[in-house]
């Protein structure tokens, strides 16, 4: 089973904002929406762009390259040109620290 990785202090990301972090060599975007943190892989499944540099609109991130949209809560693709979901990761807060776990191979 994969381990939880400390990525940022919870206060480091404001509500409605997001930040790119590294989780054991995987680029991950961490979002805070309505006080809850979510994490998805920081890669557009359409062309590999870093989606964390895109705009957050509600609970969707818009890829800066071609406009594909992904739900930050689930990783589900919401619009073309992407057709595959991005990986989403479990998140927890421990002692004010956001922790993420890459559980894809557990």
Domain-located, residue 15: yes
pLDDT above 70 as % of the chain: 99
Is the Cα dihedral 95, 6, 31, 101 positive or negative?
Answer: negative
pLDDT tens for each residue of 54-76 = 999 999 999 999 999 999 999 99
CATH code, domain with 92: 2.102.10.10
CA distances from 55 to 2, 10, 19, 101 (A): 30, 21, 12, 24
Q: Give me the torsion for CA of 72, 68, 57, 77, rounded to 10°.
A: -30
Domain-located, residue 106: no
pLDDT tens for each residue of 31-57 = 999 999 999 999 999 999 999 999 999
Establish how many alpha carbons lie within 13 A of residue 72's alpha carbon, considering only the half-sphere containing its beta carbon.
Answer: 30
Q: State which residues form the domain around 34.
A: 5-100
pTM of the model: 0.94
**pLDDT at site 1:** 56
């Amino acid at each position: 089973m994969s381990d939880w990785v400390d990525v940022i202090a919870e206060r480091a990301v404001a509500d409605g904002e997001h930040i790119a972090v590294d989780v054991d060599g995987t680029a991950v975007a961490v979002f805070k929406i309505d006080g809850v943190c979510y994490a998805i892989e920081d890669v557009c499944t359409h062309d590999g762009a870093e989606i964390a540099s895109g705009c957050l609109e509600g609970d969707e991130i818009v890829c800066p390259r071609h406009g594909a949209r992904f739900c930050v809560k689930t990783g589900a693709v919401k619009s073309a040109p992407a057709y595959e979901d991005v990986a989403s990761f479990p998140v927890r807060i421990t002692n004010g620290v956001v922790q993420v776990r890459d559980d894809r191979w557990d």
